[in-house]
Structure 1
Amino acid sequence: MTSDNSIGNHIQVVLIDDDAHLRQALSQTLDLAGLKVLSLGDANGLATRIPHDWPGVLVSDIRMPGLDGLQLLQQLHEQDAELPVLLITGHGDVPLAVQAMRAGAYDFLEKPFANDTLLDSVRRALAVRQLVLDNRSLRLALADRQELAGRLIGQSPAMRRLHEQIGALAGINSDVLILGETGTGKEVVARALHDLSSRRNGPFVAINAGALAESVVESELFGHEPGAFTGASRRRIGKFEFANGGTLFLDEIESMSLEVQVKLLRLLQERVVERLGGNQSIALDIRVIAATKEDLRQAADQGRFRADLYYRLNVAPLRIPPLRERGEDPLLLFQHFAMGASSRHGLPTRELPAGQRAMLLRHAWPGNVRELQNAAERFALGLDLELEPGQEGLTDSAALSGNLGVQVEAFERALIAAELDHPHNSLRSLAEALGIPRKTLHDKLRKHGLSFTPVGGSSPEDLD
């Protein structure tokens, strides 16, 4: 953590020399070359003012009262061994400068030196520094992607899009609304957004609004002062205040009462909180990630959710695809969870038969990843793979006894039937969702005995 008077990123060169005349002359040379310079008469306390990823370089005399150039070099490289430090030496200090080079100094300039010599060395050092910072940024981005891939397993296009969206949203401070069915992993996504953000060292506070009794939800979220209500004998810090400097994840936001929604809207707009029974407005530095399994727009139209709060939250929506839309991801997830369970219980890893792999792909997974994880746990323990009934036809065990053609037909019918459960206003829309021509879809509907009813009724154009 840097101090309040840390060197800003707009400063490109910090020049330290106790000789005021030389310092002024060198500062002018650097300034005329278009470089932003901070000149100092001594190096005392300077190391604590340099941020870890500061994009500049230092030019320092070796012999100075107090902290000398070699001591400064040591302090700076304890914090960042790749920070370029250029040392200015007198003729008698050359052996000392050579020693400093071996200790990690970028360059040394022997007095007297030409202005062009100084500018050339500084510019090369700045280029090296930028390359170091770019490489750090790339390594961090790669590490973040690898970490995200380890948390949200999947190779389907839907999951690749989700990874890209999380990567884009993690680096900004905007509040996020996560949309997803039960069991899709909304808290996993919320924690990934926090851990990949600049708030990663702050608290991550998760609260399920649907699990809180109406009588305590305001106290839990906003806190209270002594005497705010019967039984409130001590001050309580609410979840929002506790999350200050970090992220608050509010799941099942649709279950909050309209009265609490009003207070949440004010908090999101003004970034302040007032404890129940208190008059003091407490400033907050938090990111709020809300999650819901419902259509909040529809809930707002029905008067169950405030429209202004919906629009305030819907700035950065993030939809988690249900498992039935994730192609072959169920197989990857099942293997991952089964291997983890086998390892925890000290059991050998079981091979999943081909017929059961097909069954995993046909299943609708109404409980999504949570349901799949439970199924993998049972399988790892040696129990039969029994799936809860999902959408009609997706778990038809009779198809498992047929040949490959029968299983492919059953799988095709299951995919079309699953998409029919989604609202579409035309056959063209349904065909585009399945990625096949409209005439092909029309033939397959007849073949499998399926019917299509567009949203809002039907017309010849809708059905043809």
Structure 2
Amino acid sequence: MSASILIVDDEELIRWSVAQDLGKSGYKTRSADGVVDALRLIEKEIPDLILTDLRLQGESGLDLLKKVARGYPDVPIVLMTGFADVDTVVEVMREGAADFISKPLQLSALKITIKRVLETAALRTRLEGAHQKRRRRYSFESLVHESPSMQEAVETARKIAASPHGTVLILGESGVGKDRMARAIHYEGTRASEPFMEISCGSIPELLLESELFGTEKGAFTGASERKKGLFETASGGTVFLNEIGHMPMSLQVKMLRVLEDKTFKRVGGREDITVDVRIIAATNADLEKGIREGTFREDLYYRINVLMIHLLPLRERKADISPLIELLLESISSDLRREKLRLPEETRRAMLEYPWPGNVRELRNALEKMMILGETEFRPTGVGKAVSSAFSAAAPPPLVEATPFRAANGVDSSTEEAIRPLEEIEVEMIRRALKKTNNNQQKAAQVLGISRDALRRRVEKYGL
């Protein structure tokens, strides 16, 4: 579809010649001899670009620029004049003109300018569309919060998002939605139009993590052939999300203290201090207080990041969220797979409500996606989740449900009362079995348990196995 251009000039010959030339290049043109005529045409059909002379009879092109900027801010305007001076150029550009062209017009140069301005406007429109799509996707309303604990978490997050300042710490098990909460705080907040940059502190080698965060100077190390900005510089004005901060190396924790204190750092191999304006959101599934006691996490860093804290409970402790999550995820998966939404029988829904979901929302989504792809409606837990779910009725040794003897009123011993072991104890037992079976090969043990190697590694660290 050809772009439409409104040409505004009080000289008929210029309007005609420009319209003829642009028409031959495939543009759709309309013409106006002044501001009043131009505004009338804009009300009928908004053009893709306005090309106007600066000096017109009556109101000027600058007046048109100001009125269009108020009513149609997305329409780019290119001004033409034969009386250009520095002050005029500065003024029209300050008012929002897309470009400025001197008369007499060079039609070839004019078409190059128009093409560039239209491409820039189209790119801006696409970026704005993508931004609005992200805002809808990561809004607080997109977070299921039927349970009281999630309602409280979302309410706290709304208050946090209303201010551009304050470091945020999000705690919770793997898969509870810490990253979604972080994005919601960003995209519902005052920094929404600025970058959101995420990095996983536990999955990147120490040297690479430092350069990714702070950037590098040319020659800082072998292969650093040019200066590179880090996440903090790239995200300036926006948000940096430090996922799994509990696994950040101790040497980098020291450098993070300064960033949190005054938003200042040095690039790797650099001497110059760089200051940025960013909000920092950190998240972890690790027990940071335990890390402090064991010497793997700095106490001063803990107090720096624990300014505004949100704790997301595991899915097994907020069962009111499971049913609406199932519906939301089924809608999302059916859209992604371009398939009809799966209809789950009542017994499947009951099984899902009773299941403990050790992998939380991530595991729930994976289970639903698998069922939809395979066309199944029966829920079949796998891996650690299956072991945990069946543990309460397992009879094989070592017993996961232990009989506790007691003496009845008639004095006869009985072992019919059952004591249920804690969920974490059961998970530890299953991990130990898997590691023993695979001779401590974490990759194979993770496959046996049906989880990722990183998930197993985090559990091994969590339980000190």
TM-score, normalised via structure 2 length? 0.55
Residue equivalent to 1:333: 325
The CA distance in 2 between the partners of 1:448 and 1:334, in whole Å, is: 35
1:386 to 374, 380, 389: 380
Tell me the secondary structure at the aligned position of residue 144 of structure 2.
coil
Task: Return the offset for 1:339.
Answer: 2.9
1:217-276 CA-to-partner distances (Å, cap 9, x unmatched) read 111111111121222221111111111110000101111111100001111101112111
Residue equivalent to 1:367: 359
Change over 3 Å in CA distance of 1:394–1:198 after alignment to 2 = same
Change over 3 Å in CA distance of 1:361–1:77 after alignment to 2 = same
Residue equivalent to 2:143: 152
Residue equivalent to 2:281: 289
Tell me the secondary structure at the aligned position of residue 250 of structure 1.
strand
2:346 to 339, 342, 354: 354
Change over 3 Å in CA distance of 1:208–1:361 after alignment to 2 = same
1:251 to 243, 259, 262: 243
The CA distance in 1 between the partners of 2:251 and 2:234, in whole Å, is: 22
Q: How does 1:254-293 map to 2 (within 5 A)?
A: 254-293=246-285
2:381 corresponds to which letter in structure 1? L
Residue equivalent to 1:168: 159
Q: Select between 308-317 and 376-385 the one with higher mean Cα deviation.
A: 376-385
1:158-185 CA-to-partner distances (Å, cap 9, x unmatched) read 1111110110111121010110111111
Tell me the secondary structure at the aligned position of residue 139 of structure 2.
helix
Question: Any conservation in 2 of the 1:184–1:321 contact (CA below 8 Å)?
Answer: yes
Q: How does 1:108-123 map to 2 (within 5 A)?
A: none
The CA distance in 2 between the partners of 1:377 and 1:192, in whole Å, is: 24
Q: How does 1:38-437 map to 2 (within 5 A)?
A: 74=67, 77-78=70-71, 148-172=139-163, 173-381=165-373, 382-383=375-376, 384-388=378-382, 389-390=384-385, 394-395=389-390
Question: Any conservation in 2 of the 1:178–1:318 contact (CA below 8 Å)?
Answer: yes
Task: Return the offset for 1:394.
Answer: 4.0
- Identity percentage of aligned residues: 39
Tell me the secondary structure at the aligned position of residue 211 of structure 1.
coil
Is 2:432 the counterpart of 1:450?
no
Change over 3 Å in CA distance of 1:451–1:396 after alignment to 2 = closer
Question: Any conservation in 1 of the 2:359–2:385 contact (CA below 8 Å)?
Answer: no
Tell me the secondary structure at the aligned position of residue 305 of structure 1.
coil
Tell me the secondary structure at the aligned position of residue 215 of structure 1.
helix
Task: Return the offset for 1:365.
Answer: 0.6
The CA distance in 2 between the partners of 1:314 and 1:193, in whole Å, is: 16
1:367 corresponds to which letter in structure 2? G
Q: Select between 371-380 and 146-155 the one with higher mean Cα deviation.
A: 146-155
Question: Any conservation in 1 of the 2:217–2:227 contact (CA below 8 Å)?
Answer: yes
Task: Return the offset for 1:450.
Answer: 2.6
Task: Return the offset for 1:345.
Answer: 3.0
Unpaired runs of at least 5, structure 2: 1-57, 74-134, 395-400, 402-414, 423-465
2:302 corresponds to which letter in structure 1? Y
1:449 corresponds to which letter in structure 2? E
Question: Any conservation in 1 of the 2:136–2:142 contact (CA below 8 Å)?
Answer: no
Question: Any conservation in 1 of the 2:168–2:282 contact (CA below 8 Å)?
Answer: yes
Count of equivalent residues:
282
Tell me the secondary structure at the aligned position of residue 207 of structure 2.
coil
Task: Return the offset for 1:75.
Answer: 6.5
The CA distance in 1 between the partners of 2:70 and 2:278, in whole Å, is: 33
The CA distance in 2 between the partners of 1:338 and 1:374, in whole Å, is: 11
**RMSD (CA atoms):** 3.4
Task: Return the offset for 1:449.
Answer: 2.2
2:418 corresponds to which letter in structure 1? G
